[in-house]
A and B are shown apart, each in its own frame.
Chain A
Amino acid sequence: MRTEFDSPIILLGARLLSPYIMLIGLYVIFHGHYSPGGGFQGGALLAASILLVRLSGGKVTDPLQIKESITTPMASLGVLIYFGTGFAAILAGGLFLDYEMLPLGMDPAYLRNTGILIIEIGIGLAVMAVLIMIFDNMVRGEDL
C-alpha cells in the first residue's frame, strides 16, 4: 500500500467523483421504494465511493474518511438494525419482522413502508462496511 500521493491528479479526480457516487448510492437506497434499487445495491455504491479515495489516496487520507477500526462495528450495527426491527415487533406483540406491530404510531400500511425503509438502511450500512472491511483486510493484513 502506498503511503504518499504519487499523483495529485488521480487524487483530485477521485475526490471530485467520490461525493457524486455517494449521493447516487444514497439515492438508490432511499428511492428503492419507487425504482429499482435497495440496500444491497446502494451499499455497494457507497463502498465504491469510499474505496475510490482509499485506492488513490493511500494510508494518509484513510483516517479522514472512515477509520479502519470503525468498519467492523458499522457492519455489526447494520445487522443489528435489521434484527432489532424484527425483535421490536416481537416485543410489541407480533411475529418476527411483522412491521405492523412496530410502536411508531402510524397506519399499518405506512408502518410496513417505514419498516422496509429501516431495514434497507441497515442492509446498506452493513454492505458498505463489509466491502470496506474486506478491502482493508486484504490490503493491510500483511503489513501490520
Chain B
Amino acid sequence: MKYFKALILVAFAALMLYASIDLPYRGDPDNLMHNETSMTGSKVAGHYYIQEAYHDAKTPNMVTVVLGDYRSTDTIGEQVVIFTAGIITLLLLRKHKEE
C-alpha cells in the first residue's frame, strides 16, 4: 500500500510536469492572453487593461487600476469579508455577561 501511494504521487507529478511543458513563457507578448481576441473570437479583457489603464485613470500601476477601478466591486467584497472576520471575533471570543 505504501508503494502504491508513492506510485500515485510520482504518476501525478509526472502528469503535472508533462502538462507544464505546454505552458507559455511568462511575459511573452505573443501569449494567448495578451492577444486582442481569444480563440473563440471574443475580446480579451487583459488586452484592454494593458492598453487603456493609464489613459483611463492616469495611474502608472496597472494592477491598482484593475483592483480599484475595473474590479472595484470585487474589492468591496474582499473588504466586507475582512470586516466580517473582525465582527465574528468580536461576537465569539468576547465573554458576554450572562443574563
Contacts and interface: CB of A to CB of B under 8 A. Distances in A.
Interface string A84-127: 00100000000011010000000001101101100110110011
B74 to A, nearest CB: 10
B86 A129 contact: yes
Contacts of A138: 89, 93
A97 to B, nearest CB: 4
Contact of A116 (B65, B80, B86, B94): B65
Contacts of B83: 75-76, 78-79, 126, 130
Contacts of A25: none
Interface string A37-52: 0101000000000000
Interface residues of A, number: 40
Contact of B59 (A33, A36, A79, A96): A33
A130 B64 contact: no
Interface in B76-91: 76, 78-80, 82-83, 85-87, 89-90
Nearest to B67: A38
A32 interface: yes
B79 A123 contact: yes
B24 interface: no
B89 A112 contact: no
Mostly, the B contact residues are helix
Contact of A141 (B67, B87, B93): B93
B75 A119 contact: yes
A144 interface: yes
Interface of A: 32-36, 38, 40, 72, 75-76, 78-79, 82-83, 86, 96-97, 99, 109-110, 112-113, 115-116, 119-120, 122-123, 126-127, 129-131, 133-134, 137-138, 141-142, 144
A75 B56 CA distance: 30
Contacts of B64: 32-33, 38, 116, 120
A97 B79 contact: no
Nearest to A135: B89
B86 A134 contact: yes
Contacts of A144: 94-95
